[in-house]
Amino acid sequence: MTNPFCLAGKRALVTGAGSGIGRATALQMAELGAELIVTDIDADTAAETAATIGGSASAHAHDVSKAEDWARVYHATGGALDILVNNAGVMMSKPFREAPIANLHRQQAINVDSLYLGMQGALPLMRAAVAAGGETASIVNISSVYGMVGGAQFAAYSATKGAVRGLSRAVAFELAKEGIRVNTVLPGPVGTNLGADWDAPTDADGNPIPPEAALAAWSSLIPMGRLGEPRDIAPLVAFLASDAARFITGAEFVADGGYTAA
């Protein structure tokens, strides 16, 4: 009997795959047999991920907020596409009362416009994959628990991650009959480079909070007592990409150590 979790024979494109959740997902899917197309705005880190995978994995410089970049990547890779993981994203931290609208627009472009462009561009390639005998084609969009609950200083980020959920459900509904599935993953706090460029957190008196104390404070909010790791998220994405999830579309999956369970 065929193993439905196996990704052999499938071509997968993962955005933002030079780091964190995207890199772990690309490695996980390659491990399960997929042929990987690895993209990132940072060409060097994308190349590192592809080199780690080896074999036929290819790396591409790709700004997901730009239509011309999507067109170039799809043109360069050609052929049928079974799996698209819209993972690339940014999280900008700023109190709502002082965050300029440009803060929202930048996150909207990278976190939401990217999905719109990427999913539209993928349609002919995914139709080709289904026509070639694939059970279904699969799109997995990475939202966040901040698309469900609020977080201080993350108003614009939360708005974009909520938009990911609505967009994903609507597109799933529209494409279901074509055999193109669209699902959403909502990670809780995961230790990655996301936010590495933020100012150091401060206490109420403006004194810097040491990184270990900040980490302990974050971890204490999570019932499982720790931040997530990229490898806590990657297998869920790989499952949704596989034929094991062939009847699952328009659905949302939280992986957060219990953060939103209360």
Ligand X SMILES: NC(=O)c1ccc[n+]([C@@H]2O[C@H](COP(=O)([O-])OP(=O)(O)OC[C@H]3O[C@@H](n4cnc5c(N)ncnc54)[C@H](O)[C@@H]3O)[C@@H](O)[C@H]2O)c1
Output the smallest distance, CB 214 to ligand X, in A.
Answer: 13
Taking CB under 6 A as the criterion, the residue among 3, 193, 202, 220 binding ligand X is 193
Is 146 among the catalytic positions?
A: no
Q: In this complex, which beta carbon is closest to ligand X, that of residue 18 or of residue 121? A: 18
25 binds ligand X (CB under 6 A): no
65 binds ligand X (CB under 6 A): yes
Question: What does the block give as tokens for 85?
Answer: 């993981």
141 binds ligand X (CB under 6 A): no
Taking CB under 6 A as the criterion, the residue among 12, 194, 236, 245 binding ligand X is 194
163 binds ligand X (CB under 6 A): no
257 binds ligand X (CB under 6 A): no
Mind spelling out the 3-state secondary structure of the chain? CCCCCCCCCCEEEECCCCCHHHHHHHHHHHHCCCEEEEEECCHHHHHHHHHHHCCCCEEEECCCCCHHHHHHHHHHHCCCCCEEEECCCCCCCCCHHHCCHHHHHHHHHHHHHHHHHHHHHHHHHHHHHHHCCCCCEEEEEECCHHHCCCCCCCHHHHHHHHHHHHHHHHHHHHHHHHCEEEEEEEECCECCCCCCCCCCCECCCCCECCHHHHHHHHHHCCCCCCCECHHHHHHHHHHHHCHHHCCCCCCEEEECCCCCCC
Output the smallest distance, CB 249 to ligand X, in A.
Answer: 20
> Strand pairing partners for 35?
11
Output the smallest distance, CB 178 to ligand X, in A.
Answer: 26
**CA 82, CA 60: separation in Å to the nearest integer?**
18
Q: Which residue has the tokens 């049928």?
A: 80
Taking CB under 6 A as the criterion, the residue among 11, 14, 40, 81 binding ligand X is 40
> Contact region for ligand X (CB under 6 A) — 30-38, 167-175, 185-193, 238-246?
185-193
Q: Which of residues 106-125 bind ligand X (CB under 6 A)?
A: 110
16 binds ligand X (CB under 6 A): yes
Q: In this complex, which beta carbon is closest to ligand X, that of residue 90 or of residue 123? A: 90
- Phi/psi of residue 205, nearest 5 degrees: -90, 5
Cβ–Cβ < 8 Å for 88, 64: yes
Q: In this complex, which beta carbon is closest to ligand X, that of residue 20 or of residue 257? A: 20
Of the candidates 74, 116, 146, 157, the residue annotated as catalytic is: 157
Taking CB under 6 A as the criterion, the residue among 28, 45, 183, 249 binding ligand X is 45
Tell me the residue type at 108.
Q
Output the smallest distance, CB 107 to ligand X, in A.
Answer: 9
28 binds ligand X (CB under 6 A): no
Residues annotated as part of the active site: 157
User: Which residues contribute to the site for ligand X (CB under 6 A)?
Assistant: 15-16, 18-22, 40-42, 45, 62-65, 87-91, 110, 142, 144, 187, 189-190, 192-194
